[in-house]
Amino acid sequence: MKENLKSDNHNRVDGEIDLYDLFLVIMNGKWLIIAVTFILSSLSVVYAIYQPNIYRSEALLAPAEQQQADGLGALAGQFGGLASLAGVKLGSSESNKTDLALAIIKSRKFISEFIEKHNIMPDLMAIESWDPTNNTVKYDENIYDQSEGKWLRKVDFPFKPKPSTQEAYKEFIKIVSATKDPDSGMIIISVDHFSPFVAQQWVNWLIEDINLTMKKRDVIEATKSTEFLTAQIEKTNVADIRVVLYKLIEEQAKTIMFANVREEYVFKTIDPALVPEEKLKPKRALIVIVSTFFAGVIGVFLVLIRFYISNNCRRS
């Protein structure tokens, strides 16, 4: 009989089992394997169906031309020594400005201000699903009451019903990506969200805000530099130093002018963010296939364990 795996036809050392016996064990337990596979794969189907769709919107950007860089570069070559005496650093490469902007996008300060400015906390921390028929988001009623704008979540100290900016930052950084292609220098900013419309809006806001942030940063620095250089001119009578200081003031004025007239100050949009039509995830078919495979493996494992236990009981 198949059940008798101790047949003399299979000469083996005690405790060992050959491939034929292993095949018989699996065949004898095929109904258990089928049952386990069916149950677990059915659960995976339910799980995959109830997973909300996630959409990704992204924009392709290029570093905006820093027109004042050539002037500063020329000054650096001609008056670098004198400028260093005045405490002014000449030249600012486009790559450095781009890297700085990317670092700022991922910073806690920028993201916290972004969340507060655009009031996106509910869409970030309390969203449950998106209804494509009327383009509305649904919030978890146990977390946020949309009608009253009140946070209801129950948390332990030190957390509060309304999420802090630190909590929001941790969630935000998971769904936002800002990367630079090392070969082309192009930048891709993307956002993953339940709503494709929200994802697109956030990408556009991120581009606008980082351009504005870098613009304000440079204007403030140029203004302070101008004040410093003006003060230095009044303190020196050396003609060569006064020449370079006047040139530096001129370049700072150009910086302020470029910042005020150019909207896309640090990043220029090459391919704008669109409302994605296709979801990014979940890959429901893949979830079911992988789950079914592992369910079968678990079923076989259970059959082998059952055989091992029963075999040891018979020996004892």
Is there a contact between 26 and 36 (Cβ–Cβ < 8 Å)? no
Kindly report, residue by residue over 85-136, the tens digit of the pLDDT.
444 545 555 668 888 999 999 999 999 999 999 999 999 999 999 999 899 9
User: Cβ–Cβ contacts within 10 Å for residue 294, how many?
Assistant: 14
Handedness of CA 104, 110, 111, 115 (dihedral sign): negative
Secondary structure of residue 182 in the 3-state scheme: coil
**Minimal CA–CA distance to 105: which of 47, 179, 183?**
179
What is the β-pairing status of strands 127-131 and 136-139? antiparallel
Secondary structure of residue 169 in the 3-state scheme: helix
- Residue whose token pair is 């009044």: 234
Whether residue 75 has pLDDT greater than 60: no
Kindly report, residue by residue over 205-225, the tens digit of the pLDDT.
999 999 999 999 988 888 888
Tell me what pLDDT residue 282 has: 86
Which distant-in-sequence residues (6+ apart) come within 8 Å of 263 by Cβ?
A: 211
Mean pLDDT confidence for 222-249: 82
User: From residue 303, how far is each of 25, 26, 42, 176 by CA, in Å?
Assistant: 7, 7, 20, 45
Kindly report, residue by residue over 5-25, the tens digit of the pLDDT.
444 444 444 445 577 777 888
Cα–Cα distance, 53 to 281 (Å, whole number): 6
Secondary structure of residue 306 in the 3-state scheme: helix
Is there a contact between 108 and 169 (Cβ–Cβ < 8 Å)? yes
Is there a contact between 98 and 63 (Cβ–Cβ < 8 Å)? yes
Whether residue 174 has pLDDT greater than 90: yes
Give the model's confidence band at 232: pLDDT under 50 very low, under 70 low, under 90 confident, else very high. Answer: confident
Single-letter residue type at 106: K
Cα–Cα distance, 299 to 217 (Å, whole number): 62
